[in-house]
Chains A and B, each alone.
Chain A
């Protein structure tokens, strides 16, 4: 009996994820603090936190946050929609796959940011250019995951749909879309962070308002605590979103 009970007991004492996260956070903060003692260009955690809170109360900064958030939301929504639609076409049609798959792979490998100078005169300094850049960043993971997901739909589901005389629309909504829910969610998770990358990267180059610009301005004036505060804000938000979506992905059957 004792030999049976042993492994059961050991299983119970599995370390929890929460403890690991707190440990990593504590070690990171300690490392950060030590680094700030060694190099004067690195702001320490407390002055960064102070800068973050004073920023959050500043109306100008709130406007910058709003601008970036709206741009990211649009870029994500459009990128996911376009990526999903193109992915469905590429996954469902053999002809489309043969014609466009190399193009998609090639375009995905391209450093998209080099297009930014070309987008500026067309879409202007406001939302246009950075949303388009965010879309270019976020559509590929959705497209590629959806296309692969559709191709992996078990053969028997197509047979089932045909034997039930299901319409194209029924097949799409009742079988294909639920069948690819997991790759679709993976694509969406990646799209959230890549939309942020596209938008903030654009703001680093040229824009009127946005968090990317505040980072660059703080860098220009040598206000490293301020710069670090914004970077920390961007990191925490995308970290939390990615983690939440990843949880959702794992819970999905």
Chain B
């Protein structure tokens, strides 16, 4: 076992509904991610993936249990944690450059460093030439690159991503996924990536956690032993298919359970 990255112990999140019931969103999460590892969580919609991520990010308090990042307990949002959202979070009134610098600006990073890191990150995510453009002129995929660059520029040691490519089309999603993997191989953050897309999860991660429908538990941990250097072509290999079948086998029942529960609830 290497250095500790993210350590989740006995975590449970429950909340009360307006009807007076108590819903258990996640329960019994007892897992660890080594530093510099890339882990994805897959699960049916409504399984509490986002809740778990919010707790790790310090945006939400757990009902019980704790989260540690590099050995220090998480009590709220902090600089070591970088978040990338599903929704477009770029600021339309700022240029790409200003958007990338925005997090550093809020955190009062010295101006000279802001300029240097902005330049590096724009280069890293492939937005060169778009520095002075405003986000509304860009495609959804490009805007997510801007958001990613903004988060990376804050130099977090842990990167939490909540379905960042979910609003994009399948091709863009796969391409950006491969891009993200390339970037991660350079920056080497500890990544926790939430998605409902199996191929996306396998393509990018070293390990995939499968989550059950409510109460959200981690029912399977699958190591992805694909070559470290991979691109979108890996999707058509036999190994990739095997992994996909294995994960789908444990996920299928849960997805069905969630589907039925959501259908009867509405």
25 contacts between A and B (CB under 8 A): A154-B87, A156-B85, A156-B87, A156-B89, A157-B89, A159-B59, A160-B85, A163-B57, A164-B77, A164-B106, A164-B107, A165-B76, A165-B77, A165-B78, A165-B79, A165-B106, A165-B107, A166-B106, A174-B105, A174-B106, A175-B91, A178-B93, A179-B91, A253-B134, A253-B136
Which residues of chain B from 48 to 100 have any CB-CB distance to chain A below 8 Å in the complex? 57, 59, 76-79, 81, 83, 85, 87-89, 91-93
Q: How far is the CA of A174 from the CA of B99 in the complex (A)?
A: 11
Closest A residue to B104 using CB positions: A164
Which residues of the partner chain A approach B93 to less than 8 Å between Cβ atoms? 178-179, 181, 253
Which residues of chain A from 140 to 165 have any CB-CB distance to chain B below 8 Å in the complex? 154-157, 159-160, 162-165
Q: How far is the CA of A166 from the CA of B79 in the complex (A)?
A: 11
Given A162-B77, A163-B77: A253 and B92 interface contact (C-beta under 8 Å): yes
What total of chain B residues lie within 8 Å of the partner, measured CB to CB? 23
Which residues of the partner chain B approach A179 to less than 8 Å between Cβ atoms? 91, 93
What total of chain A residues lie within 8 Å of the partner, measured CB to CB? 18
Which residues of the partner chain B approach A160 to less than 8 Å between Cβ atoms? 85, 89
Q: Cβ of A163 and Cβ of B59 under 8 Å apart? A: yes
Q: Cβ of A162 and Cβ of B136 under 8 Å apart? A: no
Closest B residue to A160 using CB positions: B89
Q: B-contacting residues of A (Cβ < 8 Å)?
A: 154-157, 159-160, 162-166, 170, 174-175, 178-179, 181, 253
Q: How far is the CA of A163 from the CA of B160 in the complex (A)?
A: 11
Q: How far is the CA of A174 from the CA of B136 in the complex (A)?
A: 18
Which residues of the partner chain A approach B79 to less than 8 Å between Cβ atoms? 165
Which residues of the partner chain B approach A253 to less than 8 Å between Cβ atoms? 92-93, 134, 136
Which residues of the partner chain B approach A155 to less than 8 Å between Cβ atoms? 87
Q: Cβ of A163 and Cβ of B83 under 8 Å apart? A: yes
Which residues of the partner chain A approach B107 to less than 8 Å between Cβ atoms? 164-165
Which residues of the partner chain B approach A159 to less than 8 Å between Cβ atoms? 59, 83, 85, 89
